[in-house]
Amino acid sequence: MIRYSKQSRFTQAVDCIIFGFDGDNLKILLIQRGFEPEMGKWSLMGGFVEADESLDQASNRILKQLTGLDGMYLEQLHTFGNPLRDPVERTVSTAYFALIDINKYQKQISTDYHPEWFSLKRIPKLIFDQQEMVEMAQRRIRYKAALHPILFELLPNRFTIPQLQSLYESVYNTTIDKRNFSKRILATGLLIKQAEKDKAGSRRGAFYYQLNMQNYYAKFQAFLNLIPNPTNLIF
Protein backbone atom coordinates (compact mmCIF):
# COMPACT_ATOMS: atom_id res chain seq x y z
CA MET A 1 0.00 0.00 0.00
CA ILE A 2 1.31 3.43 -0.96
CA ARG A 3 1.21 6.05 1.81
CA TYR A 4 2.26 9.67 2.00
CA SER A 5 5.54 9.79 3.86
CA LYS A 6 6.34 11.99 6.85
CA GLN A 7 2.67 12.85 7.40
CA SER A 8 0.99 12.61 10.80
CA ARG A 9 -2.38 10.86 11.15
CA PHE A 10 -5.41 12.27 12.96
CA THR A 11 -9.08 11.52 13.53
CA GLN A 12 -11.94 13.09 11.52
CA ALA A 13 -15.24 13.71 13.28
CA VAL A 14 -18.54 15.42 12.50
CA ASP A 15 -20.88 17.36 14.80
CA CYS A 16 -24.56 18.06 14.00
CA ILE A 17 -26.27 21.23 15.24
CA ILE A 18 -30.05 20.86 15.10
CA PHE A 19 -32.15 23.99 15.62
CA GLY A 20 -35.88 23.64 16.09
CA PHE A 21 -38.85 25.96 16.61
CA ASP A 22 -41.83 24.87 18.71
CA GLY A 23 -44.06 27.79 17.79
CA ASP A 24 -42.83 29.98 20.63
CA ASN A 25 -39.07 29.54 21.08
CA LEU A 26 -36.01 28.64 19.03
CA LYS A 27 -34.31 25.61 20.55
CA ILE A 28 -31.32 23.33 20.07
CA LEU A 29 -31.23 19.53 20.34
CA LEU A 30 -28.55 18.08 22.64
CA ILE A 31 -27.62 14.65 24.00
CA GLN A 32 -25.58 13.41 26.94
CA ARG A 33 -22.21 12.18 25.69
CA GLY A 34 -21.95 8.40 25.99
CA PHE A 35 -18.18 7.92 26.31
CA GLU A 36 -15.08 9.47 27.83
CA PRO A 37 -13.78 12.08 27.96
CA GLU A 38 -16.67 14.28 29.19
CA MET A 39 -19.00 11.29 29.49
CA GLY A 40 -22.48 12.36 30.60
CA LYS A 41 -21.93 16.01 29.67
CA TRP A 42 -24.26 17.79 27.26
CA SER A 43 -23.10 17.60 23.67
CA LEU A 44 -24.05 18.07 20.05
CA MET A 45 -24.70 14.91 18.04
CA GLY A 46 -21.17 13.93 17.13
CA GLY A 47 -19.09 10.95 16.12
CA PHE A 48 -16.20 9.73 14.02
CA VAL A 49 -16.11 9.35 10.25
CA GLU A 50 -15.58 5.79 9.07
CA ALA A 51 -12.99 4.93 6.44
CA ASP A 52 -15.54 4.10 3.75
CA GLU A 53 -17.92 7.05 4.06
CA SER A 54 -18.01 10.72 3.13
CA LEU A 55 -18.52 13.55 5.60
CA ASP A 56 -22.14 13.95 4.47
CA GLN A 57 -22.80 10.23 4.88
CA ALA A 58 -21.23 10.27 8.34
CA SER A 59 -23.28 13.24 9.53
CA ASN A 60 -26.54 11.61 8.45
CA ARG A 61 -25.59 8.24 9.94
CA ILE A 62 -24.55 9.73 13.29
CA LEU A 63 -27.63 11.95 13.53
CA LYS A 64 -29.95 8.99 12.86
CA GLN A 65 -28.06 6.73 15.27
CA LEU A 66 -28.16 9.21 18.16
CA THR A 67 -31.58 10.79 17.66
CA GLY A 68 -33.57 8.78 15.13
CA LEU A 69 -33.85 11.83 12.87
CA ASP A 70 -33.53 10.89 9.21
CA GLY A 71 -33.97 12.41 5.78
CA MET A 72 -33.39 16.05 6.71
CA TYR A 73 -31.14 18.50 4.89
CA LEU A 74 -27.86 19.15 6.73
CA GLU A 75 -25.73 22.07 5.62
CA GLN A 76 -21.98 22.02 6.18
CA LEU A 77 -20.95 24.90 8.41
CA HIS A 78 -17.20 24.89 9.10
CA THR A 79 -14.27 22.63 9.96
CA PHE A 80 -12.72 23.07 13.40
CA GLY A 81 -9.10 22.01 13.62
CA ASN A 82 -7.44 23.48 16.71
CA PRO A 83 -4.78 20.87 17.64
CA LEU A 84 -5.85 21.13 21.30
CA ARG A 85 -9.62 20.96 20.81
CA ASP A 86 -9.80 17.28 21.90
CA PRO A 87 -7.73 16.22 24.95
CA VAL A 88 -7.39 12.58 23.84
CA GLU A 89 -5.84 12.92 20.39
CA ARG A 90 -5.70 15.23 17.40
CA THR A 91 -9.26 15.37 16.07
CA VAL A 92 -10.62 17.57 13.30
CA SER A 93 -14.39 18.06 13.31
CA THR A 94 -16.65 19.30 10.54
CA ALA A 95 -19.87 20.85 11.83
CA TYR A 96 -23.25 20.66 10.09
CA PHE A 97 -26.49 22.43 10.95
CA ALA A 98 -30.18 21.97 10.21
CA LEU A 99 -33.43 23.85 10.82
CA ILE A 100 -36.59 21.89 11.61
CA ASP A 101 -40.15 22.31 12.84
CA ILE A 102 -40.04 20.51 16.20
CA ASN A 103 -43.69 19.47 16.05
CA LYS A 104 -43.16 17.88 12.63
CA TYR A 105 -40.25 15.69 13.74
CA GLN A 106 -41.10 15.06 17.41
CA LYS A 107 -42.48 11.55 16.86
CA GLN A 108 -39.35 10.55 14.92
CA ILE A 109 -36.94 11.34 17.75
CA SER A 110 -35.54 8.28 19.54
CA THR A 111 -34.99 8.33 23.32
CA ASP A 112 -32.08 5.85 23.31
CA TYR A 113 -29.46 8.57 23.90
CA HIS A 114 -31.78 10.91 25.85
CA PRO A 115 -31.90 13.81 23.36
CA GLU A 116 -33.42 16.94 24.84
CA TRP A 117 -34.49 20.32 23.46
CA PHE A 118 -33.02 23.41 25.14
CA SER A 119 -33.94 27.06 24.64
CA LEU A 120 -31.07 28.97 23.05
CA LYS A 121 -31.27 31.31 26.03
CA ARG A 122 -30.58 28.44 28.44
CA ILE A 123 -28.00 26.22 26.73
CA PRO A 124 -25.99 24.15 29.23
CA LYS A 125 -22.21 24.11 29.02
CA LEU A 126 -21.10 22.07 25.99
CA ILE A 127 -17.98 19.96 25.57
CA PHE A 128 -14.80 21.00 23.80
CA ASP A 129 -15.34 23.87 21.31
CA GLN A 130 -19.00 23.11 20.61
CA GLN A 131 -20.23 26.43 22.01
CA GLU A 132 -18.14 28.12 19.32
CA MET A 133 -19.81 25.86 16.73
CA VAL A 134 -23.29 26.84 17.93
CA GLU A 135 -22.49 30.56 17.91
CA MET A 136 -21.08 30.33 14.38
CA ALA A 137 -24.19 28.46 13.23
CA GLN A 138 -26.42 31.16 14.72
CA ARG A 139 -24.50 33.85 12.82
CA ARG A 140 -24.82 31.85 9.60
CA ILE A 141 -28.59 31.49 10.07
CA ARG A 142 -29.03 35.22 10.72
CA TYR A 143 -27.10 36.01 7.56
CA LYS A 144 -28.94 33.49 5.38
CA ALA A 145 -32.34 34.45 6.79
CA ALA A 146 -31.85 37.95 5.41
CA LEU A 147 -31.47 36.56 1.88
CA HIS A 148 -33.42 33.29 1.75
CA PRO A 149 -36.69 31.92 3.19
CA ILE A 150 -34.85 29.43 5.41
CA LEU A 151 -36.67 30.44 8.60
CA PHE A 152 -39.90 29.10 7.13
CA GLU A 153 -38.34 25.62 7.42
CA LEU A 154 -38.96 26.07 11.15
CA LEU A 155 -42.65 26.84 10.75
CA PRO A 156 -45.61 24.62 9.89
CA ASN A 157 -47.18 25.06 6.47
CA ARG A 158 -49.70 27.45 8.02
CA PHE A 159 -48.56 29.86 10.70
CA THR A 160 -49.72 32.99 12.50
CA ILE A 161 -48.03 36.39 12.52
CA PRO A 162 -47.35 36.09 16.29
CA GLN A 163 -45.53 32.79 15.59
CA LEU A 164 -43.48 34.42 12.84
CA GLN A 165 -42.61 37.34 15.12
CA SER A 166 -41.53 34.98 17.92
CA LEU A 167 -39.28 33.19 15.43
CA TYR A 168 -37.59 36.38 14.25
CA GLU A 169 -37.12 37.57 17.83
CA SER A 170 -35.54 34.23 18.79
CA VAL A 171 -33.20 34.10 15.80
CA TYR A 172 -32.00 37.69 16.15
CA ASN A 173 -32.17 37.73 19.96
CA THR A 174 -34.18 40.94 20.08
CA THR A 175 -37.65 42.34 20.82
CA ILE A 176 -39.79 43.67 17.96
CA ASP A 177 -42.78 45.94 18.42
CA LYS A 178 -45.91 43.85 17.81
CA ARG A 179 -47.91 46.44 15.84
CA ASN A 180 -44.97 47.51 13.69
CA PHE A 181 -44.05 43.91 12.88
CA SER A 182 -47.59 43.02 11.82
CA LYS A 183 -47.90 46.17 9.71
CA ARG A 184 -44.53 45.68 8.01
CA ILE A 185 -44.95 41.98 7.31
CA LEU A 186 -48.40 42.46 5.77
CA ALA A 187 -47.12 45.38 3.68
CA THR A 188 -44.63 43.06 1.94
CA GLY A 189 -47.44 41.25 0.14
CA LEU A 190 -45.53 38.00 0.61
CA LEU A 191 -48.05 36.25 2.84
CA ILE A 192 -51.30 34.59 1.80
CA LYS A 193 -54.05 35.00 4.38
CA GLN A 194 -56.06 31.87 5.17
CA ALA A 195 -59.73 31.68 6.15
CA GLU A 196 -59.08 29.76 9.38
CA LYS A 197 -57.87 31.10 12.70
CA ASP A 198 -55.72 29.70 15.48
CA LYS A 199 -57.80 30.20 18.63
CA ALA A 200 -55.50 28.38 21.03
CA GLY A 201 -53.97 31.57 22.37
CA SER A 202 -57.07 33.75 22.69
CA ARG A 203 -60.82 33.81 22.10
CA ARG A 204 -60.39 36.27 19.24
CA GLY A 205 -57.71 34.12 17.61
CA ALA A 206 -55.12 34.89 14.95
CA PHE A 207 -55.46 34.22 11.24
CA TYR A 208 -53.22 31.62 9.63
CA TYR A 209 -50.96 32.64 6.75
CA GLN A 210 -48.83 30.89 4.15
CA LEU A 211 -45.70 32.17 2.42
CA ASN A 212 -46.22 33.03 -1.24
CA MET A 213 -43.06 31.46 -2.63
CA GLN A 214 -43.52 32.91 -6.13
CA ASN A 215 -43.73 36.45 -4.81
CA TYR A 216 -40.94 35.79 -2.33
CA TYR A 217 -38.33 35.04 -4.97
CA ALA A 218 -39.52 38.02 -7.01
CA LYS A 219 -39.07 40.52 -4.18
CA PHE A 220 -37.40 38.81 -1.21
CA GLN A 221 -35.70 42.12 -0.33
CA ALA A 222 -38.97 43.12 1.34
CA PHE A 223 -38.11 40.84 4.25
CA LEU A 224 -34.93 42.82 4.90
CA ASN A 225 -37.16 45.45 6.50
CA LEU A 226 -37.93 42.94 9.25
CA ILE A 227 -34.28 42.22 10.07
CA PRO A 228 -32.77 44.19 12.99
CA ASN A 229 -29.71 46.10 11.68
CA PRO A 230 -29.44 44.15 8.38
CA THR A 231 -26.33 46.07 7.33
CA ASN A 232 -24.47 44.71 10.37
CA LEU A 233 -25.04 41.03 9.64
CA ILE A 234 -21.83 39.02 9.86
CA PHE A 235 -21.29 35.83 7.86
| Per-residue confidence (pLDDT) for residue 229, from 0 to 100 | 59
Q: Is the pLDDT of residue 127 over 90?
A: yes
pLDDT computed for residue 224 by the predictor: 61
Question: Residue-wise over 133-170: b if at least 16 C-beta within 10 A, else e?
Answer: bbebbbebbbebbbeebebbbbbeeebbbbbbbbbbbb
Q: What's the one-letter identity of residue 97?
A: F
Strands 26-32 and 11-21: antiparallel
Helices (H), strands (E): how many in the chain?
6, 10
pTM higher than 0.75: yes
- Does residue 178 register a pLDDT over 60? yes
Say what the alpha-carbon torsion angle 63, 94, 73, 121 is, to the nearest 10 degrees.
80
The confidence score (pLDDT) of residue 201 equals: 64
Q: Which helix (H) or strand (E) holds 28?
A: strand 26-32
| Residue 30 scores a pLDDT above 90 | yes
* Residue 108 pLDDT greater than 90, yes or no: no
| CB contact at 8 A, 165 and 232 | no
Q: What are the structural domains of the chain? A: 11-145 (3.90.79.10), 157-232 (1.10.10.10)
- pLDDT mean over 63-78: 93
Q: What is the mean pLDDT of residues 33-45?
A: 93
Q: What is the pLDDT of residue 226?
A: 63
Q: Please provide the DSSP assignment of 154-195 as one string.
A: GS-SSEEHHHHHHHHHHHHT----HHHHHHHHHHTT-EEEEE
Average pLDDT, integer, range 84-93: 95
* pLDDT value of position 147: 74
Query: Which residue stretches of the chain are H helix?
Result: 55-67, 102-105, 130-145, 161-172, 178-187, 213-218
pLDDT of residue 213 exceeding 90? no
Share of residues in the chain with pLDDT > 90 (%): 50
At residue 199, φ and ψ (nearest 5 deg) are -105, 15
